[in-house]
């Protein structure tokens, strides 16, 4: 037993950590030499003092409350985890410490042992590391700045070099640009003429067909037939005028100045009339078949719908071989009208499909076929005005299907307008 006491005493006296024992009132009951050296006191000076004498003045009042709370729920614990703790020496100097607490009962009294370590050296190392990191970050930022400046200088020199090369090539470019402008003007002129031919061909053909048939009806009994064809001619002439107005208005589409008119009409009758007219332009043994489902009356812009149909059917006829069948289907449901035009033509490659609704774009397999590449662009613009949408599915050598839907009542986005 004596041997154990001697060992414990030796441990207490020679430990490098500071040992401070206090009672419930915070009075220092026992202190080892390491703690005395750490705080600059003699053992006699600390005995009987409150533990707060070793805590900086600004924290003492709060520590009394913490000490009282600890005695209410005494547990061994590591103090200051995640926080910076400081002690104060006899001369008033403060220094960083690390503290852990243990508690025990003796003769019915509760005592607390504080194990204190001076971590000044550790803090200095940590601060040095932080300073080195800051210095490294500063140097890194300076290097980045220098690198950025170097890149800017390289870019500046590159620009100067490019300008020098451009000046050397300027004379050739001016000549080339002049030739390109002349070709561009000729191409625009050619495209406009082709576009007009593409869009006006159907009504003009109707006029010529009806005019030729009128000459065959020479008897008085044929007067109703003559009148019917005269009405077709009038309607076609009016359509030509309307189409011309639409083309002249294309420039205003981008400015939002062109709006669609709203009127009530019978959709299947409109499509059937259009199919009948386009059948006269079909190639040998080509057939245009039409089928409708659902209600017939809708509210939309009859003229724009007709122009879309003419465009799509013209393309179907043009790009389908002789003897092919062109299918037209329409339906009305859920306040939407859906029209599908399906042909058995040359089809469109997947790469070309994403550009088809752009102006003046033509598929690579259609370059030798008459057209400007403006038809589907106009179709898309018309359908946008109607508040609808259009989808295209195609496969090379198997044909193309175009499906568009339009609302059959006024839409709220301002594209459909009741004024004309």
DSSP 134-196: HHHHHHHHHHHHHHHHHHHHHHHHHHHHHHHHHHHHHHHHHHHHHHHHHHHHHHHHHHHHHHH
Distances (CA, A) of 82 to 66, 99, 117: 17, 12, 16
183-215 in b/e form (b: 16+ CB < 10 A) is: eeeeeeeebeeebeebbbebbeebbebbeeebe
Q: Which residues contact 361 (CB under 8 A, 6 or more apart)?
A: 352, 355, 373, 377
Structure tokens at 256: 């939002």
Mean per-residue pLDDT pooled into runs of 10, the chain (420 residues): 66 84 90 92 91 91 85 73 82 91 86 90 89 89 87 87 82 77 61 54 69 70 72 68 56 65 91 91 89 91 90 89 93 92 89 75 67 74 90 90 85 42
Helix axes 120-216, 302-319, angle to 10 degrees: 90
Q: Which residues contact 199 (CB under 8 A, 6 or more apart)?
A: 243, 247, 310, 311, 375, 378
Digit-coded pLDDT (tens) for 35-47: 999 999 998 989 9
19-45 in b/e form (b: 16+ CB < 10 A) is: bbbbbeebebbbbbebbbebbebeeee
Structure tokens at 61: 């009042």
Q: Which residues contact 243 (CB under 8 A, 6 or more apart)?
A: 199, 200, 203, 307
Instruction: Report the share of the chain in percent with pLDDT over 70.
Output: 78
Round to whole Å and give the CA distance between 130 and 403. Answer: 68
**Cβ atoms of 58 and 85 closer than 8 Å:** no
User: Which residues is 103 bridged to in the sheet?
Assistant: 112
**Cβ atoms of 76 and 103 closer than 8 Å:** yes
DSSP label of 284: T
Tell me if residue 236 falls in helix, strand or coil.
helix
Its sign, for the CA torsion 20, 22, 28, 30, is: negative
**Cβ atoms of 25 and 68 closer than 8 Å:** no
Round to whole Å and give the CA distance between 199 and 202. Answer: 7
> Per-residue DSSP letters for 188-220?
HHHHHHHHHHHHHHHHHHHHHHHHHHHHH--SG
Round to whole Å and give the CA distance between 338 and 329. Answer: 8
Round to whole Å and give the CA distance between 137 and 378. Answer: 60
């Amino acid at each position: 037993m004596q041997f154990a006491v001697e060992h414990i005493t030796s441990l207490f006296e020679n430990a490098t950590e500071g040992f401070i024992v206090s009672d419930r009132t915070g009075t220092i009951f026992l202190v080892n030499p390491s703690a005395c050296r750490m705080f600059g006191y003699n053992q006699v000076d600390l005995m009987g003092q409150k533990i707060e004498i070793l805590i900086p003045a600004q924290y003492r009042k709060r520590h009394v409350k913490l000490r009282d709370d600890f005695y209410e729920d005494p547990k061994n614990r590591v103090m200051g985890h995640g926080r910076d703790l400081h002690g104060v020496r006899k001369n008033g100097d403060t220094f960083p410490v690390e503290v852990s607490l243990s508690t025990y009962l003796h003769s019915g009294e509760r005592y607390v042992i504080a194990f204190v370590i001076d971590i000044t050296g550790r803090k200095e190392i940590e601060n040095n590391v932080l300073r080195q990191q800051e210095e490294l970050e500063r140097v890194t930022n300076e290097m980045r700045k220098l690198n950025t400046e170097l890149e800017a200088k390289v870019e500046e020199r590159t620009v100067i070099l490019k300008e020098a090369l451009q000046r050397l090539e300027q004379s050739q470019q001016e000549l080339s640009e002049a030739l390109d402008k002349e070709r561009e003007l000729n191409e625009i002129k050619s495209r406009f003429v082709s576009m007009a031919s593409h869009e006006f061909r159907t009504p003009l053909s109707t006029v010529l067909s009806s005019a030729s048939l009128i000459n065959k009806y020479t008897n008085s009994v044929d007067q109703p037939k003559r009148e019917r064809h005269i009405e077709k001619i009038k309607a076609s002439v009016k359509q030509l005028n309307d189409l011309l107005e639409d083309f002249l208005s294309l420039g205003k589409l981008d400015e939002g100045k062109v709006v669609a008119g709203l009127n009530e009409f019978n959709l299947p009758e409109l499509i059937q009339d259009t199919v009948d007219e386009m059948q006269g332009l079909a190639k040998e043994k080509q057939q245009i078949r039409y089928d409708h489902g659902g209600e017939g009356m809708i509210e939309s812009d009859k003229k724009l719908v007709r122009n879309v149909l003419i465009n799509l059917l013209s393309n179907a006829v043009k790009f389908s071989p002789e003897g092919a069948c062109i299918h037209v289907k329409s339906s009305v449901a859920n306040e939407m009208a859906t029209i599908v035009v399906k042909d058995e033509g040359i089809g469109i490659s997947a790469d070309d499909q994403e550009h088809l609704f752009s102006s003046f774009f033509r598929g690579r397999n259609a370059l030798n076929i008459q057209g400007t590449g403006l038809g589907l662009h106009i179709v898309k613009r018309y359908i946008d005005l109607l508040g609808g949408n259009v989808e295209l599915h195609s496969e090379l050598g198997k044909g193309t299907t175009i499906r568009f839907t339009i609302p059959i009542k006024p839409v709220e986005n301002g594209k459909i307008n009741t004024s004309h």
